[in-house]
Amino acid sequence: MFGFTSWVSVCNIAADSLFQRRNEYFDSQRLLADTTTINKAIALYKTVLRQADQDSLQHQALWKLLQAYYFKGQFGSPHSSQRKQIYNQGIKISESYLDQFSNSVELHAWLGVMWARWAEESGILAAARRGVAGKVKHYAEQTMQIDEEYLG
Mean pLDDT value of segment 132-137 = 97
- Model pLDDT, residue 1: 40
At 94, the amino acid letter reads S
* pTM of structure: 0.88
Q: Which residues contact 149 (CB under 8 A, 6 or more apart)?
A: none
> Quick one: pLDDT at residue 23?
76
Among 80, 73, 60, which Cα is nearest to 15's? Answer: 60
Q: Which of 22-26, 47-51, 56-60, 133-137 has the lowest mean pLDDT?
A: 22-26
Cross-strand partners of 32: 27
Q: What is the C-alpha end-to-end distance of the chain, expressed in Å?
A: 42
